Structure 1
Amino acid sequence: VIITLDRDNNHFVLNLVETDIDSFEQDSVSDKVERLIKWSRYWHSHLFNLPEPVSKGKYETNFTKEEYIGAIDKTRDYIRHGHIYQVNISQRFTFPFEGSDYLLFRKLFRLNPASFFAYMNCGDFTVLSTSPERFIYRNGDYIETRPIKGTRPRGKTSDEDEKLQRELIESWKEDAELSMIVDLLRNDLGKVCLPGTVKVKEHKRIEAYQNVFHLVSIVEGRLPEHCRHMDILKAVFPGGSITGCPKVRAMEIIEELETVKRNIYTGSIGYVGLNGTMDLNIAIRTAIRKGDKLYLSVGGGIVYGSEPEAEYMETIHKGETFLQLLS
């Protein structure tokens, strides 16, 4: 069963997949649909009996402050010597966790109703994602990507909102990061798109969410006939906004400096359709629950002008903001 949200009509769609085509009968499908509806009502009525999500004890990170700042200094050294222009460096928080991860997901979504949220119970572990970032959207021969670089909190008043938006638009650091990633993604799409069709539809557009503003660009192109989904993924994966540029060298530096594997963090969640459509997110703001632990990775784009202390404190702020949800 796949549950999707139809944003245009504001309702959920329950998709029942029938795998046994040979024994397909309309009556049996109707029975399954009826059971599915009863199950969904039962599940909804029992939500309030689930244990509240809570974290007891101190969190751990895979970097000390000195180690993380050292990784940023090493990154800036690579930039100074011409290896890269930008790289995304992250650290992982580990929280002790009790209770229902589904209730935590609901709480996360209420506080941050992002465009590409996902809850996946994978048996041994659960994925909770409230990502706002679209990686790749495809519809027939049309393809687009929407990188995010730059975030500011929402203000308490409309005047504060306007000030923070202006600050985001005028930030040289955010402009440099976004412009470099846009150039990288134009190159990635150019590997599979028809010549001359890749263009920047919008650059440095402000997107407002419940708690934050994001700086976003839209890069689009046209695909040749018979272009396969796998051809696209081979050309563009992983996303440039969470690796760096040049991408391959940035990934090598990430492998060198980060002390744990990213797992699903900065990968993609979404769907790949048989009807020529595809929609994938960038798996940021994504946590993994496994046993009595909850794992959350956070990071940021590092350029030569980055302040190591400020970059470190930004990751701590992101991690502790998440911890407040469990208090």
Structure 2
Amino acid sequence: MITELEFKSLANQGYNRIPLVAEAFADLETPLSLYLKLCHTHDDGKHSFLLESVVGGERFGRYSFIGLPARSLLRASGFGADARTEVVTDGQVVETHAGNPLDFIADYQKRFKVALSPGLPRFCGGLAGYFGYDAVRYIEKKLENSCPPDSLGTPDILLLQCEEVAVIDNLSGKLYLIVYANPGEAEAYSKAKKRVRQLKEQLRYSVSVPQIKAGESYPSERSFAKADYLQAVLEAKEMIAAGDFMQVQVGQRIQKRYTENPLSLYRALRSLNPSPYMYYYHFGDFQVVGASPEILVRQEKVEEGQKITIRPLAGTRPRAATPEKDKATELELINDPKERAEHVMLIDLARNDIGRIAKTGSVKVTEAFAVERYSHVMHIVSNVEGILQDGMTSMDVLKATFPAGTLSGAPKVHAMEVIDQLEPVKRGIYGGACGYLSFAGDMDLAIAIRTGVIKDGMLYVQAAAGVVADSVPELEWKETEHKARALLRAAELVEEGLE
């Protein structure tokens, strides 16, 4: 931890957020136990989060991140002339801004001049939360007035301002406790140092695990009756045949009553469906639980500059019962003309998106047509990278790449117009992005798929399938059901009683 003299030196250099960092051993803990110890001591962990990762469906990522309850957050709702962004601190709205929320977020990030701690991972403080699918209406003006009815009522953007963070190094077993101090406040150093000591003391607490007893199981309902979904696919195919567009993602929402602890759903999901992006966000009046396999976009500093990565994931099959049948399924998937054609379109879309913001000649496909396996399904994946042009921000990157082509279609904007016509409800968080924008300037966003929203005693799960010229409506319906299955099964496990 830095000394008070070092703190004052950094303050004199103009930094208005300075981290105090303490290390501890956490080799006897799990990210979940640490989350409970650090976040659930007050107000049930409101405005906190847990981010974990499993690489390739088989091994944990190097780092897990815990965002302790945040004092401040940004939330945005409304479109066009009604667009508003609010800054909320300690439960009170302290600022309200009209205009484009993405532009406000870019300006808001500039308020913070943060001293960075060498040796720590990309994220150790910043903004974390989600950009809902409908945030695209802040990017594409022609979509401002075509939004379907909103039955959920969640903000279109919600970002927690993370100034107290715990980073778990799953390789070394170390835990980093990070508290940011604002030197403009009285006794900033001593207060932050005291807070770090308090957090270290909380590590000694025993874990209070939410009790999960077998309860009532509730049926699920769908926003689309099956017949209506099949008809929507047929309508999309007719438009494709007429030359309107090449591909569109048509989705459905599944909802069911859920009255158990939201964190228990995350526990069940991370066991059933370990994924590269696993997240639990407690936003107060609702929670977001996800296990996404897919990057929306990643921005990270490398020697050449800021590297931008998109990893298209499309082409899906359910897992088979035996290794031999699973391999046969993989070969059938990778050689399916419809799946290959759809995936090629998405690689091209990723190249085009990155090409809008990348330095000339830097866009490359670094991996193509690999197959990744998850608990219930397997997917075709590819990797597209480029180096960001000088002078561009994370919000420029988001505007160029949002939403994912794998959740919209091609050409992207017209496909989204068709989605507004065909889907009966506003998508909300689904199809948007969950992740973080770090104080260091990095950004890592997962596509909000395999993601559930718990609000007012209900669980909402959504999934979509890519419709192309030769799509079979029944198979597209089944694909949405397969994609939603992991979350619904996780809810069933909780209702049955986790042991």
Give the structure-2-normalised TM-score: 0.61
Q: How large is the Cα RMSD of the aligned pairs?
A: 2.3
- Name the residue aligned to 2:271: 110
CA displacement at 1:287 relative to structure 2: 0.6
Match 2:207 to one of 35, 45, 48 = 45
Q: Which runs of 5+ in 2 are unaligned?
A: 1-47, 54-60, 63-168, 493-499
Contact 1:2–1:14 (8 Å) recurs in 2: no
CA displacement at 1:132 relative to structure 2: 0.8
- Name the residue aligned to 2:69: none
- 2:409 is equivalent to residue 247 of structure 1: no
Match 1:68 to one of 217, 229, 248 = 229
Distance 1:214 1:325 in 2: 21
Q: How does 1:22-33 map to 2 (within 5 A)?
A: 22-23=185-186, 25-33=188-196
Q: How does 1:272-311 map to 2 (within 5 A)?
A: 272-311=437-476
Between Structure 1 and Structure 2, the one with more helix by share is 1
- Name the residue aligned to 1:220: 385
More displaced stretch, 272-281 vs 80-89:
272-281
Q: Which runs of 5+ in 1 are unaligned?
A: none
Distance 1:79 1:30 in 2: 61
- Name the residue aligned to 2:340: 175
Identity of aligned residues (%): 37
Contact 2:354–2:401 (8 Å) recurs in 1: yes
Distance 1:290 1:273 in 2: 28
- 2:358 is equivalent to residue 193 of structure 1: yes
Distance 1:311 1:14 in 2: 46
The 1:40–1:90 alpha-carbon spacing in structure 2 relative to 1, beyond 3 Å, is: farther
- Name the residue aligned to 1:58: 219
More displaced stretch, 196-205 vs 240-249:
196-205
User: What letter is aligned with 2:342?
Assistant: E
Contact 1:53–1:99 (8 Å) recurs in 2: no
The 1:305–1:36 alpha-carbon spacing in structure 2 relative to 1, beyond 3 Å, is: same
- Name the residue aligned to 1:184: 349
Distance 2:268 2:391 in 1: 42
Contact 2:181–2:189 (8 Å) recurs in 1: no
CA displacement at 1:40 relative to structure 2: 5.5
Contact 1:105–1:128 (8 Å) recurs in 2: yes
- Name the residue aligned to 2:22: none
The 1:221–1:310 alpha-carbon spacing in structure 2 relative to 1, beyond 3 Å, is: same
User: What letter is aligned with 1:142?
Assistant: K
Give the structure-1-normalised TM-score: 0.91
Give the length in aligned residue pairs: 325
More displaced stretch, 153-162 vs 93-102:
153-162
- Name the residue aligned to 1:36: 199
CA displacement at 1:13 relative to structure 2: 4.9
- Name the residue aligned to 1:161: 326
- 2:281 is equivalent to residue 120 of structure 1: yes
The 1:274–1:211 alpha-carbon spacing in structure 2 relative to 1, beyond 3 Å, is: same
Match 1:256 to one of 416, 421, 429 = 421
Distance 2:426 2:51 in 1: 30
SS in 2 for 1:300: strand
Contact 1:53–1:100 (8 Å) recurs in 2: no
Distance 1:13 1:90 in 2: 40
- Which is higher, the Rg of structure 1 or of structure 2? 2
CA distances 1:85-113 after superposition (whole Å, capped 9, x unpaired): 00001000110111111011111011111
Contact 2:272–2:490 (8 Å) recurs in 1: no
Q: How does 1:302-321 map to 2 (within 5 A)?
A: 302-319=467-484
User: What letter is aligned with 1:258?
Assistant: E
Distance 2:284 2:401 in 1: 30
CA distances 1:17-73 after superposition (whole Å, capped 9, x unpaired): 44574235444323212333444664x6111x4345866332111111111111001
- Name the residue aligned to 1:230: 395
CA displacement at 1:222 relative to structure 2: 1.3
SS in 1 for 2:229: helix
Contact 1:53–1:103 (8 Å) recurs in 2: no
